[in-house]
Amino acid sequence: MPDQRSRRAVSAVWAERLSGLGFDDLQRGIDRLPRYLRAHNWWPPGAAEFRELCLPGYADFGMPPLDEAYAEATKREYSHPAVAWARGRCQHAFDQMNATEARRRFAREYDAALIKAREGFEFPKLHKALPQKQPPAPPAERQRELAAEMRRRLATERFDLAQEESHGST
């Protein structure tokens, strides 16, 4: 059985870790305890772990879970601005690293996005590109005519350049 001094020390740690949390935050943490227990197989959580349970998570900000966010980031199809923000912060990881490293880096940036959301940061809005209506390709005969015209123009330009060079060197 812990003595009075030990209990005070533990209480001080918990008070420090939970400082700044309101009633709603603490209730959120309590509500999440059953899920925590199913996932971790130990009880009780430490003060830092309980604080994390109390803080708003991805869903509280309308952000998709990490796995979904990563899938969106790989396809560049974003359901939330935070996903695009996180992807933009680790663009080189997607371009230069293998999938495992890119995912690890994205997870770090997505967690940073969650922290930013908790701080009230407003992510840049998503702007969807308008679909581009492509004109139909010209018929094959017209394509041949256009190609022949381009060849004629190129031949003429080459001839003109050759003449300019010969006149410029005299």
- For the stretch 19-46, pLDDT in tens is 888 899 899 989 989 888 888 877 788 8
Side chain identity at 68, as an amino acid letter?
E
pLDDT of residue 93: 82
User: Does the predicted TM-score (pTM) go above 0.75?
Assistant: no
In the chain, domain spans: 9-55, 60-118
b/e code 119-146 from CB counts within 10 Å (16+ = b): eeeebeeeeeeeeeeeeeeeeeeeeeee
Phi-psi region of 120 (alpha: psi -120 to 50; beta: other; left: phi over 0): left
CA angle (52, 11, 29) in 5-degree steps: 25
List the structure tokens of 124: 């840049």
CA angle (84, 119, 70) in 5-degree steps: 25
The whole-number average pLDDT for the span 78-106 is 90
pLDDT digits (tens, 9 = 90+) for 43-69: 788 888 888 889 888 988 999 999 999
CA distance 105 to 168: 58
